Structure 1
Amino acid sequence: MRDVLARFKFRGDTALVELFKRDVQAVFKRSFCMKEPLLIPIPLSNERLKERGFNQSVVIASMIGKPILQPLVKIHQSKQSKKKKNERLDQKGLFQIKHTDAIVQKDIILVDDIYTTGATIYDAARILKDAGAKSVSSFTLIRS
Structure 2
Amino acid sequence: MPSKTLVSLAVLLAILVTIVEGGLSSTGTHNYDLSKIADLRKLYNSKVFVADRMKRPLDGMPVAFGALSHSGVRVTLADGSQWLVHKGDSFGKASNTVVVDARHMSSNWKIIETKDFTGTKTVSDFVKAGGTDYSLIFDNCHDGAERMMDQ
- TM-score over 0.5 for the pair: no
More helix by share: 1
More strand by share: 2
Higher relative contact order (CA 8 A, sep 6+): 2
